[in-house]
Amino acid sequence: MKLAYVAGPYRDPRGPHFIHMKIEAARAIAVQLWCLGFAVICPHLNTAFLDGACPDDVWLAGDLVMLRRCDLVVMVPGWERSVGATAERDEALSRNIPVVEGVEDARAWLARSN
Protein backbone atom coordinates (compact mmCIF):
# COMPACT_ATOMS: atom_id res chain seq x y z
CA MET A 1 0.00 0.00 0.00
CA LYS A 2 1.32 3.44 -0.94
CA LEU A 3 1.20 6.38 1.47
CA ALA A 4 -0.25 9.64 0.14
CA TYR A 5 -0.10 13.08 1.73
CA VAL A 6 -2.86 15.63 1.10
CA ALA A 7 -1.44 19.16 0.74
CA GLY A 8 -3.67 22.19 0.53
CA PRO A 9 -4.68 25.44 2.15
CA TYR A 10 -5.84 25.41 5.77
CA ARG A 11 -5.56 28.82 7.42
CA ASP A 12 -7.97 31.59 6.50
CA PRO A 13 -8.12 35.10 7.96
CA ARG A 14 -11.90 35.15 7.43
CA GLY A 15 -12.40 32.76 10.33
CA PRO A 16 -13.49 29.27 11.37
CA HIS A 17 -16.22 28.79 8.76
CA PHE A 18 -13.71 29.18 5.94
CA ILE A 19 -11.16 26.98 7.70
CA HIS A 20 -13.88 24.33 8.00
CA MET A 21 -14.52 24.57 4.25
CA LYS A 22 -10.82 23.97 3.57
CA ILE A 23 -10.75 21.01 5.95
CA GLU A 24 -13.76 19.53 4.16
CA ALA A 25 -12.11 19.94 0.74
CA ALA A 26 -9.02 18.08 1.97
CA ARG A 27 -11.14 15.44 3.70
CA ALA A 28 -13.05 14.73 0.49
CA ILE A 29 -9.80 14.10 -1.35
CA ALA A 30 -8.47 11.96 1.51
CA VAL A 31 -11.57 9.75 1.41
CA GLN A 32 -11.25 9.25 -2.33
CA LEU A 33 -7.58 8.35 -1.97
CA TRP A 34 -8.38 5.79 0.74
CA CYS A 35 -10.98 4.29 -1.60
CA LEU A 36 -8.34 4.00 -4.33
CA GLY A 37 -6.16 1.93 -2.00
CA PHE A 38 -3.78 4.52 -0.54
CA ALA A 39 -3.05 4.97 3.13
CA VAL A 40 -3.50 8.72 3.63
CA ILE A 41 -2.08 11.46 5.82
CA CYS A 42 -4.39 14.46 5.80
CA PRO A 43 -2.86 17.11 8.06
CA HIS A 44 -6.06 19.16 7.87
CA LEU A 45 -7.82 16.44 9.85
CA ASN A 46 -4.84 15.70 12.07
CA THR A 47 -4.78 19.24 13.48
CA ALA A 48 -8.34 20.40 12.75
CA PHE A 49 -9.24 23.42 14.85
CA LEU A 50 -6.12 23.21 17.02
CA ASP A 51 -5.35 26.78 15.92
CA GLY A 52 -3.63 28.74 18.66
CA ALA A 53 -2.69 25.71 20.78
CA CYS A 54 0.84 26.00 19.38
CA PRO A 55 2.47 28.49 17.06
CA ASP A 56 1.73 27.83 13.36
CA ASP A 57 5.35 26.90 12.67
CA VAL A 58 4.97 23.86 14.98
CA TRP A 59 2.15 22.47 12.81
CA LEU A 60 3.98 23.29 9.59
CA ALA A 61 7.22 21.65 10.75
CA GLY A 62 5.33 18.55 11.91
CA ASP A 63 3.54 18.32 8.58
CA LEU A 64 6.89 18.27 6.78
CA VAL A 65 8.10 15.42 9.01
CA MET A 66 5.06 13.36 7.98
CA LEU A 67 5.34 14.35 4.33
CA ARG A 68 8.94 13.07 4.13
CA ARG A 69 7.70 9.55 4.82
CA CYS A 70 5.15 9.55 2.00
CA ASP A 71 5.27 8.02 -1.46
CA LEU A 72 3.13 10.70 -3.10
CA VAL A 73 1.84 14.21 -2.41
CA VAL A 74 -1.63 15.12 -3.71
CA MET A 75 -2.35 18.82 -4.02
CA VAL A 76 -5.78 20.23 -3.15
CA PRO A 77 -7.19 22.88 -5.50
CA GLY A 78 -6.17 26.35 -4.38
CA TRP A 79 -2.81 25.21 -3.03
CA GLU A 80 -1.07 27.91 -5.07
CA ARG A 81 -2.42 30.58 -2.70
CA SER A 82 -1.19 28.78 0.43
CA VAL A 83 2.23 29.44 1.91
CA GLY A 84 2.09 26.13 3.81
CA ALA A 85 0.97 24.01 0.85
CA THR A 86 3.56 25.63 -1.39
CA ALA A 87 6.25 24.78 1.18
CA GLU A 88 4.96 21.19 1.31
CA ARG A 89 5.11 20.92 -2.47
CA ASP A 90 8.63 22.37 -2.54
CA GLU A 91 9.77 19.97 0.20
CA ALA A 92 8.37 16.99 -1.69
CA LEU A 93 10.02 18.02 -4.93
CA SER A 94 13.35 18.63 -3.17
CA ARG A 95 13.18 15.03 -1.87
CA ASN A 96 12.08 13.53 -5.19
CA ILE A 97 8.65 12.65 -3.83
CA PRO A 98 6.17 12.76 -6.71
CA VAL A 99 3.58 15.55 -6.58
CA VAL A 100 0.24 15.36 -8.41
CA GLU A 101 -2.81 17.58 -8.61
CA GLY A 102 -6.00 15.87 -7.57
CA VAL A 103 -7.41 12.39 -7.30
CA GLU A 104 -7.36 11.47 -10.98
CA ASP A 105 -3.64 12.21 -11.22
CA ALA A 106 -3.13 10.14 -8.06
CA ARG A 107 -5.08 7.27 -9.63
CA ALA A 108 -2.86 7.41 -12.73
CA TRP A 109 0.29 7.56 -10.60
CA LEU A 110 -0.84 4.54 -8.59
CA ALA A 111 -1.51 2.53 -11.76
CA ARG A 112 1.99 3.32 -13.03
CA SER A 113 3.69 2.53 -9.72
CA ASN A 114 2.23 -0.96 -9.27
Domain residue ranges of the chain, discontinuous segments joined by +: 6-27+38-57+68-81+92-114
pLDDT at 51 exceeding the cut of 80: no
Q: At what angle do helices 16-36 and 103-113 cross, to 10 degrees?
A: 30
pTM, two decimals, is 0.93
The pLDDT value given to residue 47: 74
Convert the pLDDT of each residue in 54-109 to its tens digit. Answer: 887 888 899 999 999 999 999 999 999 999 999 999 999 999 999 999 999 999 99
Cα separation, 27 vs 48, in Å, equals 11
- Does residue 12 surpass a pLDDT of 90? no
Calculate mean pLDDT across residues 7-20.
Answer: 91
**Phi, psi for 29 (deg, rounded to 5):** -70, -40
How high does pLDDT run on average in the chain?
93
